[in-house]
């Protein structure tokens, strides 16, 4: 089941992982790309050569949340920030989108 998320363009909700997404080195990711092009997350530390595709990482996080808390994850479409807030304190991305470490909220 792959339902793509639809977010209002050019609002902070377009990048729900801002504030949660960190590079493995500790650098915070920021939003990248413009509303009429591909959404991406980028860290400025230089660990990665290319930005992360926003849809790819958000799908990965959403899938992880669905495993951890299926009922809560069902609210992702309505309010991804609430889901993130209740589950995770930070999400660290290594070399690839598949290499993600979820730090649970204490
Ligand atoms: Zn880094």
Q: What is the pLDDT along the chain (106 residues), one digit of tens a residue?
A: 444 555 444 444 589 999 999 999 999 999 987 666 789 999 989 898 888 999 999 999 999 999 999 999 999 999 999 999 999 999 999 877 788 999 999 8
Distance 85 CA to ligand 1 centre (A): 23
90 C-alpha to ligand 1 centroid (Å): 14
d(CA 68, CA 6): 23
Residue 35's pLDDT is 63
What pTM does this model have?
Answer: 0.82
C-alpha 73 – ligand 1 centre gap (Å): 28
Q: Find the 91 Cα to ligand 1 centroid distance in Å.
A: 13
What the block records as the tokens of 92 is 């660290």
Report how far residue 39's alpha carbon sits from residue 70's, in angstroms, rounded to the nearest whole number: 26
CA of 48 to the centre of ligand 1 (A): 7
Tell me what pLDDT residue 48 has.
85
CB 100 within 8 A of CB 61: yes
Q: What distance in angstroms lies between residue 9's CA and the mean position of ligand 1's atoms?
A: 28
């Amino acid at each position: 089941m792959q339902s793509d998320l639809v977010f209002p363009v050019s609002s902070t909700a377009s990048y729900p992982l801002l504030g949660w997404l960190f590079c493995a080195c500790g650098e915070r990711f920021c939003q990248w790309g413009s509303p009429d092009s591909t959404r991406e997350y980028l860290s400025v530390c230089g660990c990665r050569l290319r930005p992360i595709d926003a849809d790819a990482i958000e799908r990965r996080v959403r899938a992880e949340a669905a495993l951890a808390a299926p009922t809560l994850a069902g609210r992702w479409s309505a309010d991804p920030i609430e889901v993130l807030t209740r589950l995770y304190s930070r999400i660290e991305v290594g070399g690839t989108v598949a290499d993600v470490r979820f730090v649970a909220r204490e």
